[in-house]
Amino acid sequence: QVQLQESGPGLVKPSQPLSLTCTVSGGSITTDFYYWSWIRQPPGKGLEWMGAIAYSGSTYYSPALKSQTSIFRDTCKNQFTLQLSSVTPEDTAVYYCVRDVRGNTNEYDYWGQGTQVTVSS
Q: What is the pLDDT along the chain (121 residues), one digit of tens a residue?
A: 999 999 999 999 999 999 999 999 999 999 999 999 999 999 999 999 999 999 999 999 999 998 999 999 999 999 999 999 999 999 999 999 999 998 777 899 999 999 999 999 9
Element (H, E) at 110: strand 108-111
pLDDT value of position 30:
97
CA distances from 68 to 80, 92, 112 (A): 17, 15, 23
The answer to whether the CB of 98 falls within 8 A of the CB of 49 is: no
For residue 25, with 0-12 CB atoms within 10 Å meaning exposed, 13-18 middle and 19 or more buried, which class applies?
Answer: exposed
Contact 18, 12 (CB under 8 A): yes
Give CA–CA dist 101/19, Å, rounded: 24
At 37, is the secondary structure helix, strand, or coil? strand
How far apart are alpha carbons 16 and 76 in whole angstroms? 28
